[in-house]
Amino acid sequence: MSSSSSSARELRVGIVGLGWMGQVHARALSRLTQHYTDSPLRPRLVAVADTADDDRGARAADAYGFDHQFTDWKELVSRDDIDLVCVTGPNFIHRDVAVAAARAGKHLWVEKPAGRNAAETAEIVAAVEAAGVQTAAGFNYRNAPAVEHARELIASGRLGAVEHTTVRFISDYAAHPEGALSWRFLNEFAGSGVLGDLVSHAADLVRFVVADIDELVVDRATFIGQRPQAVGAASHFSRGGDGPLLDVENEDYVAALLRLADGSRGMLESSRVAVGEQCTYGIEVHGTKGSLSWDFRRMGELQLCLDQDFQNASYSTYFVSPGDGDLSAFQPGTGIAMSYDDLKVIEARRLVQSIVEGKPHGATIHDALVAARTVDAMIESSDERKWVRL
């Protein structure tokens, strides 16, 4: 892929949903050729569809330079001048938008959860395979250079045989008891609670870094059982008004024991109501010869315990360097921090590679289907109080 950005073909983009994540996609696509000057495709933001009833959508669309704005996503998907559709709206529209876009021959960049359950996600997969389009799924944490380095260390045997893994995705975004009862707390619209929102990321991280999950047993809980009714559009952090308290339909917290395909064991814990925690996302892996851990809040670091005796060993901090993952596309030297948004630029880069080469690079809709099946298995395990095989 040696073409300069000046000779790159246009990749005409439509984005459905211009909230925070839609704007993250818009920024990532706008920055793509700044970080990857050899990109054979140059994204152009052609159209956006958003149903916001205030001027947020119009202001954001103007700021990002979209040529066209719609309130109905069907108008966007039907356009002949769009090659890629980004699906970044609420969970309950993902399946319909993605299936329609694939059937219209558009490539897809879909945020997780791709569908509200595995059945909806499988419908997207079927449409994608029938159309022969390329996809990206929003599992951005696997794109961190430190995570890619961790994966390489494990695959090369530097930790020995993996014994056990702990992955935690803990946050406080729903911790306030007066947080508005938005669509995220209702199964008809969200499909699940913290399972789809954070556990899908955690499960994908385990798969990417260590091995597939073969079997699991799960406990889940809802700690804030009622919330005030939302007024208008509500974000993760919106407060409810003085309206009635309504029932929360999905889980705040999940804990799981895992059996992985390599014979190792694991633990997964996730919460959206953990006071004192913000984006406490990370993974620890222990092997027969060493260990490592990664914390998203210190994204460019790995804690490594390698090449020491079995007892009284200690950790040291490894700072990612050019040559680890895609760091060199963003920073010239060791220890210079990357951002969350940078991970999305990497995601866009890999989608472009997929489109140009006609084969997948990075996380795809098929990875989203594995995550959705994992979430469904967790619900089954919790409901029936038993181990479930994937």
Q: Express each pLDDT in 145-173 by its tens digit.
A: 999 999 999 999 999 999 999 999 999 99
Radius of gyration of the chain (CA): 21
How confident is the model over 276-305, as a mean pLDDT?
Answer: 98
pLDDT (mean) for 1-5: 44
Give the per-residue pLDDT at 2.
41
In tens, the pLDDT along 19-65 reads 999 999 999 999 999 999 999 999 999 999 998 776 766 788 889 99
**Sequence letter at residue 144:** A
Q: Is residue 1 pLDDT above 50, yes or no?
A: no
User: Would strands 162-170 and 280-287 be described as parallel, antiparallel, or unpaired?
Assistant: antiparallel
Query: 64 with 26: CB under 8 angstroms?
Result: yes
Residue 88 three-state SS: coil
Average pLDDT, the chain: 94
Residue 193: predicted pLDDT: 98
Q: How many CB atoms lie within 10 A of CB 343?
A: 25
* pLDDT tens for each residue of 288-301: 999 999 999 999 99
Per-residue confidence band for 3, with pLDDT thresholds at 50, 70 and 90? very low
- 43-57, 130-144, 253-267: which range is least confident on average? 43-57
Q: Which pLDDT score is estimated for 356? A: 98
In the predicted model, what is the mean pLDDT of residues 85-91? 97
What average pLDDT does this structure show over 116-135?
Answer: 98
Is residue 74 within 8 A of residue 101, CB to CB? The reply is no
At residue 51, the pLDDT reads 87
> Do residues 273 and 256 make contact, with C-beta atoms less than 8 angstroms apart?
no
| pLDDT, average across residues 202-210 | 98
Helix (H, G, I), strand (E, B) or coil at 168: strand
- pLDDT at site 239: 61
pLDDT tens digits, 315-342: 999 999 999 999 999 999 999 999 999 9
How large is the average pLDDT for residues 124-149?
Answer: 98
Residue 240's pLDDT is 64
For the chain, what percent of residues have pLDDT higher than 70?
Answer: 94
**Pairing relationship of beta strands 107-110 and 245-247 according to DSSP bridges:** unpaired
Q: What 3-state DSSP class applies to 45?
A: strand
**The pLDDT of residue 4 is above 60:** no
Taking residues 261-268, report their average pLDDT. Answer: 98
User: Does 286 have pLDDT greater than 80?
Assistant: yes
Other CB atoms within a 10 A radius of the CB of residue 310 amount to 8
* Whether pLDDT at 69 is above 50: yes
pLDDT at 243 (0 to 100): 74
pLDDT at 252 > cutoff 60: yes
